[in-house]
């Protein structure tokens, strides 16, 4: 699994003009599922997102997690994170999971985050979505459950 994680002061996702997920202080997560991903990747990603220390402590150091600050998450499915544009100008998506697997692992990751007591808003899988955010910092982190970067 891959994720682009942005610390936000607010974020929302809309489908056909209707808000399907929103958060005030917290994280916006664009989450991609790879064809070789499974349950362990969902668990790793949920643990990492819940514990990622990207919020300041009283000394201004990034020592607090979204859990520590009482924040929430908006998690948006993003298969294009597995796009390969190394050759030519049109990305290929052969490394992205098929929709059935991707949907299951996306939903599982969100469920694991909720089990940790975190509020989680979502987009709609395979829908065209409008995502808006105010990146706080800005702080943006890339995560990969296979630890490729």
Nearest to 66 by CA among 102, 111, 99, 113: 113
Topology at the third CATH level for domain 2-144: 3.50.80
Catalytically annotated residues = 78-80
Every domain of the chain and the residues it spans: 2-144
> For residue range 79-138, what is the model confidence (pLDDT) as tens digits?
999 999 999 999 999 999 999 999 999 999 999 999 999 999 999 999 999 999 999 999
> For residue range 20-73, what is the model confidence (pLDDT) as tens digits?
999 999 999 999 999 999 999 999 999 999 999 999 999 999 999 999 999 999
C-alpha to C-alpha distance for 61 and 89, rounded to whole angstroms: 40
C-alpha to C-alpha distance for 145 and 3, rounded to whole angstroms: 9
């Amino acid at each position: 699994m891959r994720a682009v994680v942005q610390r936000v002061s607010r974020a929302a996702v809309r489908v056909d003009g209707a808000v399907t997920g929103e958060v005030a202080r917290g994280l916006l997560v664009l989450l991609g599922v790879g064809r070789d991903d499974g349950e362990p990747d969902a668990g790793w990603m949920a643990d990492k997102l819940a514990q990622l220390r990207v919020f300041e402590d009283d000394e201004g150091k990034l020592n607090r997690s979204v859990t520590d600050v009482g924040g929430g998450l908006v998690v948006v499915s993003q298969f294009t994170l597995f796009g390969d544009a190394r050759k030519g100008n049109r990305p290929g998506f052969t490394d992205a999971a098929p929709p059935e697997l991707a949907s299951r692992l996306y939903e599982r990751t969100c469920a694991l985050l909720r089990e940790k007591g975190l509020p989680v808003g979502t987009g709609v899988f395979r829908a065209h979505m409008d995502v808006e955010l105010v990146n706080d910092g800005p702080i943006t982190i890339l995560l990969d459950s296979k630890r490729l970067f």
